[in-house]
Amino acid sequence: MKKIILIKSLLFGILYFLFSTSLDYTDLFKVPFIILMQFLPGITFPISAVNYIKLKTTPIKVIVHILFSVIIYYSNVWLYSYQNDFKLSPIFAGLLGSLLFLVMSKYILKLNTKWNEIIISSLLSGIVFLPIVIFEGIGISIGLAILLWTLLNGVIMYKSQKNI
């Protein structure tokens, strides 16, 4: 399998990084950001990180996988939104989002993801949200966290599909 998954993960990560960083410079993108970031990464990440054709996945499994991805992502946006009440919520949202997505992908798509990769990736996915906690959610810290999360989990998804 070509490294297209890694390239797409990088491109979407950069797109979300620029989108988030723009909030530091203008309010023009604030409303679209608030609306789109509630669900869009939940759709674009599985589409960019999974080669459904190579996996010979049925259309029902594709729909279920993307639907669960959106549900997982949205629930973690909800968890993230509690940052004012629980300062570490972005870290838990990043960790939990990665964990749930990778486990769900492992079972629905029957990927060769190892449990130690899932655990390490989930822990690192939580850690990449640390700048949001430290800098209190400025656009560039949000963008950097999303970029790193997307790359990290994109690499794990690539690796789990590499030999299929």
| Residue 52 DSSP SS3 | coil
Backbone φ and ψ for 41, nearest 5 degrees, come out as -60, -25
Q: Report residue 2's pLDDT band, with 50, 70 and 90 as the boundaries.
A: low
Q: Among all chains, which residue has been given the structure tokens 């850690």?
A: 127
Q: Report whether 103 contacts 67 (CB < 8 A).
A: no
Looking at mean pLDDT, say which of 13-27, 30-44, 59-73, 150-164 comes out highest. Answer: 59-73
Domain, as residue range, for 15: 4-161
Instruction: Give the integer Cα–Cα distance in Å for 15 and 34.
Output: 15
pLDDT of residue 106: 96
- For the cut 90, the answer to whether the pLDDT of residue 86 exceeds it is no
Number of domains in the chain: 1
List pLDDT tens digits, range 109-148. Answer: 999 899 999 999 999 999 999 998 888 778 899 999 999 9
Q: Report whether 90 contacts 132 (CB < 8 A).
A: yes
Q: Report residue 34's pLDDT band, with 50, 70 and 90 as the boundaries.
A: confident
- What CA–CA distances, in Å, run from 125 to 2, 90, 101, 118? 24, 10, 12, 10
Poorest-pLDDT segment among 22-36, 97-111, 114-128:
22-36
Average pLDDT over residues 81-105: 91
